[in-house]
Amino acid sequence: MSATITVTDATFEAEVLQSEIPVLVDIWATWCGPCKAIAPILEDLAGEYDGRVKIVKLDADANPATVMAAGVTSIPTLGFYRGGERVDVLIGANPKPVIAGMIDELIA
């Protein structure tokens, strides 16, 4: 069972933009309640979609360059990447079926 992977400004390009499979990027912060609420959902989804999508976490406070480059204004922000491009974005704490549905679209 796969777990979420932590990425940083330094590893974002290799882990996300150069990934062979689609990637969901969770931009979060330690002080963010809604971020904590969706963390277990993302861990579940990382296991369910193992090998088909990579789910990574980026701490917004520790990685300002990537956050600014992504134009993030609110967290949690989930960015959906395929082939090195962000193809969709979901802002806020959403229920598991909503996030899973967007992953399904990402890997379709």
From 7, 32, 42, 53, active-site residue: 32
Q: If DSSP states are collapsed to H, E and C, what string results for 33-52?
A: HHHHHHHHHHHHHHHHCCCC
The DSSP bridge partners found for residue 56 are 5, 25
Q: Tell me whether residue 68 is one of the annotated catalytic residues.
A: no
Q: Tell me whether residue 79 is one of the annotated catalytic residues.
A: no
**In the structure encoding, which two tokens stand for residue 108, read together?**
């379709």
From 24, 35, 56, 70, active-site residue: 35
Q: What is the number of other CB atoms lying within 10 angstroms of the CB of residue 106?
A: 19
Q: Show which residues are catalytic.
A: 32, 35
